[in-house]
Amino acid sequence: MIPVRGYEGARVAILGLGRSGLSAAHSLEAGGAQPVCWDDNEAARAKAEEYGLEVLDLAREGAFEGIACLIVSPGIPHLYPQPNRIVAAAQAAGVPVDNDIGLFFRSFAGAEWNDFDQPPRVIAVTGSNGKSTTSALIHHILREAGRDAQLAGNIGRGVLDIDPPEDGGAVVLELSSYQTELARALTPDIAVFTNLSPDHLDRHAGLGGYFAAKRRLFAEGGPDRAIIGIDEAEGRFLAGQLSEGAADDRVIRISVAEKLTGPGWQVFARKGFLSEYRKGRQAGSIDLRPIKGLPGAHNHQNACAAYAACRAMGLAPRVIEEGMRSYPGLPHRSQVIAEAGGVTYVNDSKATNVDSALKALQAFGSIRWICGGLEKEGGLSALAPALENVACAYVIGREAAHFAMQLEGIEAQVCTTMAEAVRRAHADAQPGDTVLLAPAAASFDQYDSFERRGEDFAACVAAALGSGQ
């Protein structure tokens, strides 16, 4: 646990008692603060009381008298589409609003660091797609290289639940826009921006607000090294803002769309080969094609980002390559769950938006594509470049018929349920095919999370293979 510093003896309100809220409460207590907790969910309040935490209705009049700060869980809006009523009350009372990420950065460094030979470092990863894989890959490579490393944030442990770092240790954080937009302290040593595509637009009042939330990690965080994916205009803009010139190697540009040249520091992947260039000369290369845990161009972009971060941490190219080769991949992210009769079954349930689904479709050949769910804004037209890889689409979800109508130029079968989609895809698949779950939609019309959807897919595949249908 990381005890929260700076609130000794103060009353600090916490809104939302999920993982991050409860973790913040315990860390505040450990640092000498007095947490005051609230959640609209009665069961969540009861759980907090079981832990001995004070529960107080923060919506009542005068609730913020004597409160030093309000800590808000990531899912609770503080500005758009409209502020939560309790957040609005805190703002009206002049009470600062923060989150667990802000508490972490203000509390991470301890007095024991004075005795360390190398201070611990924080690598923070944000972007639209690939954050989890990039974060987990960096963590895996560091651990394989013998470094003390912990994985936290949107993946792994809560940021305040981690152990105090050791001499020379590293903490790898996956950070969403919900986390970066509100944190009052953001001071990573290395910050990574993978890419940007439309997502959470209602929460951020449009693409500009969404990008601004990501940009805070760099503009306000002031990292020593910034690793920027420049395959979109926003990434190129951000790299230009942070750099003092073409030779400024504090900014490492990454790409899977083009070969990068120039006097600076670049990492790019073309046709399955990763290359690192510094000062106009090649400094390292890796053949990514045989690495099963990183299939497709989108994972090659993740590999470029992780490679750059590990190089910034001082690891040699061959050490990084060894770590990549042993990387098993993450559940629900281009995860090979079965191979039978020449057919590969891949679970990419995390492909919850059109951009991530497009990348999944581009990673494989002849595809039996299971898709559908709760559609996000923008429609499905952006998937067109990859539909030539699709032999047939098997559409699930409550609005499966409407989803299928948008898939022009390919056969699309309305299945509604996962079990029926897997049954049909399995029956139709030929040797060389890939049965791919890449929904291009949220899961909440049928499942409470993308993980549950992926687990259902895996169970249905196991049932189909076991029955021999």
Q: Report pLDDT for 434.
A: 96
Tokens matching residue 431: 């040797």
| Separation in Å, CA 445 to CA 145, 438, 441, 448 | 42, 16, 10, 8
312 and 456 belong to one structural domain: no
| Domain-ending residue, one of 83, 98, 113 | 98
Average pLDDT value for the chain: 94
346 and 455 belong to one structural domain: yes
Q: Report pLDDT for 293.
A: 87
Tokens matching residue 216: 């805070």
Confirm whether 2 is domain-assigned.
Answer: no
Confirm whether 403 is domain-assigned.
Answer: yes
Can you list the alpha helix ranges (DSSP code H) found in 284-335?
296-312, 317-325
Phi, psi of 227 (to 5 degrees): -110, 115
91 and 233 belong to one structural domain: no
| 129 labeled binding residue | yes
b/e code 141-156 from CB counts within 10 Å (16+ = b): bbbbbebebbbbbbbb
Calculate what percentage of the chain has a pLDDT beyond 90. 86
| Predicted model pTM | 0.86
349 and 315 belong to one structural domain: no
pLDDT band at residue 468, thresholds of 50, 70 and 90? low
pLDDT band at residue 296, thresholds of 50, 70 and 90? confident
pLDDT band at residue 306, thresholds of 50, 70 and 90? very high
The pLDDT of 337-347, averaged and rounded, is 94
70 and 92 belong to one structural domain: yes
241 and 340 belong to one structural domain: no
Q: Report pLDDT for 198.
A: 79
Tokens matching residue 398: 């409550």
The pLDDT of 384-401, averaged and rounded, is 95
Confirm whether 330 is domain-assigned.
Answer: no
293 and 159 belong to one structural domain: yes
The pLDDT of 72-87, averaged and rounded, is 93
232 and 280 belong to one structural domain: yes
Query: Residue 424's domain is classified under what CATH number?
Result: 3.90.190.20
In this predicted structure, the answer to whether residue 176 has a pLDDT above a threshold of 90 is yes
pLDDT band at residue 355, thresholds of 50, 70 and 90? confident
What is the distance of C-alpha 406 from the center of its chain?
28
Confirm whether 409 is domain-assigned.
Answer: yes
Tokens matching residue 164: 């105090």
The pLDDT of 252-259, averaged and rounded, is 96
Q: How many domains does the chain have?
A: 3
Name the residue type at position 74.
Answer: P
Q: Are 337 and 461 in contact (CB under 8 A)?
A: yes
Alpha-carbon distance of 400 to 406, in angstroms, equals 10
| 130 labeled binding residue | yes
211 and 355 belong to one structural domain: no
The whole domain housing 342 covers 335-464
Query: Residue 155's domain is classified under what CATH number?
Result: 3.40.1190.10
Q: Give the Cβ contact number of residue 454 at 10 Å.
A: 24
Tokens matching residue 84: 């939560």
94 and 111 belong to one structural domain: no
| 132 labeled binding residue | yes
Residue range 190-236, pLDDT digits in tens: 999 999 987 778 889 999 999 999 999 999 889 999 999 999 999 99
The pLDDT of 412-425, averaged and rounded, is 97
Phi, psi of 319 (to 5 degrees): -65, -40
Q: Report pLDDT for 295.
A: 87
Confirm whether 265 is domain-assigned.
Answer: yes
Confirm whether 456 is domain-assigned.
Answer: yes
The alpha carbons of the chain give a radius of gyration, in whole angstroms, of: 23
CA neighbor of 149 nearest in space, from 129, 133, 130, 135 = 135
| Domain-ending residue, one of 56, 76, 98 | 98
